Structure 1
Amino acid sequence: MSTKSYILTDTHTHIYYHVNNSTLEEQMLRCLDKGIERLFLPNVDVASVTPVMDTVKAYPKNCFPMLGLHPCSVKENYREELKSLEQALAIHKVYAIGEIGLDLYWDKSTLEWQKEAFRIQVNWAKSMGLPIDIHCREAFNELFELLEELKDDKLFGILHCFTGTIDQAEKAIDLGFTLGIGGVVTFKKAGLDAVVKEIDLQHIVLETDAPYLAPSPFRGKENESSYLHYIAEKVADLHQIDIAEVARITTTNSKRIFGI
């Protein structure tokens, strides 16, 4: 059990990559010791549905699933993949559709497929009353154009791994999105710290995106959800408040978004 008097929420972690081996248990113990009691798990394709659900089954009080087709998993057969995910949604309770979005870093040629897959999945979220968890890499303009097209009172969620400018942050907030702040906020030359300092904490949730994007002092190494407290400490420092207050506000924000 945690020795902490607060509860932190990792709103985006792939900790399920370690399901069915001792690493999962070790990482979960380190999380709980640091007060990180709530972890939200986004899948990326059809193959990752089972690992997500197996992790949730192993830690039902701490791990909560999302389901979606990651933009880097959008290939020529994306409609078949979406059909399979829709069938999975019919049998599994999930708390968001994600991670979904646009990624022009790895492959620009699939942009139209990515957009269509995004539209389809946003409609799932709206019909189910769920938030969406957005992945966006080198595609802010294209994403905002899509969100403007799709916006209504049913569109909401998290812009995961936000690393943009203050103008992009304000635009995302105006569209009804909360910003997922991860390890990049601890990087000295990234500039995200200056942006986060200007944003009211009611618009922020915390995340690790483990095993990617480990915060300082682990930059370049494998990330894990227990490192979330380094991110929380950095945000607390930027806003000149106690980490317990950051935990309270950001966990409250996560409860509002995910409904749990």
Structure 2
Amino acid sequence: MIDSHAHIYVEQFKEDVEEVIDRAKEAGLIRIYMPNIDHTSVDAMLALEEKYPEYCLATMGLHPCSVKTDFEKELYIVEDWLSKRSFAAIGEMGTDLYWDKTFLDQQVEAFKIQANWAKQYKKPIIIHCRESIDMTIDLVESLKEENLTGVFHCFNGNVDQAKRIQELGFYIGLGGVSTFKNAGMDKVIPEISLDRIVLETDSPYLAPVPYRGKRNEPAYVAQIAQKVADYYQKPLEEVVAQTITNTNKLFQFDA
């Protein structure tokens, strides 16, 4: 399996990240993608990538919750890194109306700038859209061209939203929310084409059942994969194989 989205470089893993990665390997994970947050996360993320080359892969972008009045300074740092070396993707980027709507205009501007870099560098984008999925799909539709691809991570939307995302040629990231009884994903996931989904944990957040409420970690992709297989009524092996193929395509990984 692959964890397509995990922030294992953050403070919550400072004491035991080696054990976390050992457990991920024991659980059958072959790769972990690490989306950036902002300038404060770059050093820790790249240090982990250097320690675990070809296993922990970094992406570069500006998280919408880090978009404030100084967002242009943050984007200069992202742009500088993108010019210096290759990253697996651009992100985590997007929109977020959950905590604060103050900087929505700046979030949209940052989104457009990063999407243009994705086109320039021919990299996928990793989209965060908490409480803002319809608006974000509209935004991607307005920016769409042939070489703009990516994933709507932590998907917890409805069937119509999933269809719009698939029509854009984007992937849908399924994580811990997929295992929550009251999330309604048992009705939505079977309507999503299996060749459009990738698995993720969003560690350390949103741990799947039976770990809900605890710190999430990449090894728990196994629980998410099993629940998704149950929804599709397909063998776990088939779902795992297809999601590996999908994740490799998404991130242009030459397996």
Cα deviation, 1:73-96, whole Å, max 9, x if unaligned, reads 000000011001111122232010
Counting only pairs closer than 5 Å after superposition, residues 1-260 of structure 1 correspond to structure 2 as 8-17=1-10, 21-260=14-253
What is the Cα deviation at residue 141 of structure 1? 2.5
Distance 1:241 1:148 in 2: 32
DSSP 3-state at the match of 2:208: coil
Distance 1:148 1:86 in 2: 23
Count of aligned pairs between the two proteins: 253
Structure 1 residues 115, 236: CA separation in 2 closer, same or farther (over 3 Å shift)? same
Q: Per-residue displacement from partner, 1:125-176 (whole Å, max 9, x unpaired)?
A: 0000000000001112221221121011011100000000000000111112
CA contact (8 A) 1:19 1:55 kept: no
How far, CA to CA, are the matches of 1:134 and 1:191 in structure 2?
Answer: 21
Cα drift, residue 61 of structure 1: 2.2
Deviation at 1:18, TM superposition (A): 5.4
* 4+ runs deviating over 6 angstroms: none
Separation in 1, partners of 2:14, 2:161: 40
Read off the aligned partner of 1:107 and give its amino acid letter.
Answer: D
Aligned partners of 1:11, 1:248: CA distance in 2, in Å?
14
Determine the C-alpha separation between the residues in 2 that align with 1:161 and 1:249: 18
Please give the alpha-carbon distance, in whole angstroms, between the structure 2 residues aligned to 1:159 and 1:32: 25
- The range that moved more, 86-95 or 164-173, is 86-95
Higher alpha-carbon deviation: 39-48 or 21-30: 21-30
Q: Measure, in 2, the Cα distance between the counterparts of 1:20 and 1:250.
A: 26
- Taking structure 1 as reference, are residues 221 and 79 closer, same or farther at Cα in structure 2, changes over 3 Å only? same
* CA offsets 1:100-138 (integer angstroms, 9 cap, x no match): 000011111211100000000000000000000000011
State percent identity of aligned pairs: 47
Instruction: Return 5+ residue gaps in structure 2 as ranges.
Output: none
- TM-score of the two chains, using structure 1 as the length reference: 0.94
What is the DSSP-based 3-state SS (H/G/I as helix, E as strand, rest coil) of the residue aligned with 1:136? strand
